Amino acid sequence: MTIDETQREIINEFSLLDGDLEMSVLYLMELGQKLSPMKEEDKVEVNSVKGCQSKVWLTAELKQERLHFSADSNTAITKGLVSLLIRVFNGHLPEEILTSELYFMQKIGMDRFIGTQRSNGFAAMIKQMKIYALAFKTKSEIQA
């Protein structure tokens, strides 16, 4: 599934909630609960996302030229947010992640149910994922 296809799938899921703020937040928290557990040894300062009010840990590894992310957070809503990003980016080539335009947040009205601080943290998560993609892309180009 492409990044755009995954974004459209997320938009469709949230559209079923018909703009209900409480249901959207509950669904977001439910998505976070479904996130694959992160190894405890990866929950260290070097893996924390800077710029998040909540504690967020994020790692990435390259498997068969595709990026795979792992993440966790100490708050349910933030864990739901990072789970959406992992869903969108996981299993894609670094180049795809770097050139992708994320629009699902606006389409689902995410700004209505997360505040400014969380929006800044969400942007920091996206930035960190793209930094990982750039690092892996650069490393593979150097090795080629």
68-93: average pLDDT: 97
For residue range 47-65, list pLDDT tens digits in order. Answer: 999 988 899 999 999 999 9
Name the pTM for this structure: 0.94
How many structural domains compose the chain? 1
Reading the block at residue 28, the tokens are: 């977001």
Segments forming the whole domain that contains residue 52: 3-143
Confidence at residue 143, expressed as pLDDT on a 0 to 100 scale: 82
Percentage above 90 pLDDT, the chain: 82
| 15-18-24 Cα angle (round to 5) | 80
Q: Could you tell me the CATH number of the domain that includes residue 57?
A: 3.90.1010.10
113-120: average pLDDT: 81
For residue range 27-51, list pLDDT tens digits in order. Answer: 999 999 999 999 999 999 999 999 8
pLDDT band at 104 (very low <50, low <70, confident <90, very high): very high
Q: Can you list the alpha helix ranges (DSSP code H) found in 17-109?
A: 21-33, 76-89, 94-99, 104-107
Answer with the residue of higher pLDDT: 39 or 119.
Answer: 39
The amino acid at 5: E
**Eight-state DSSP code of residue 92:** B
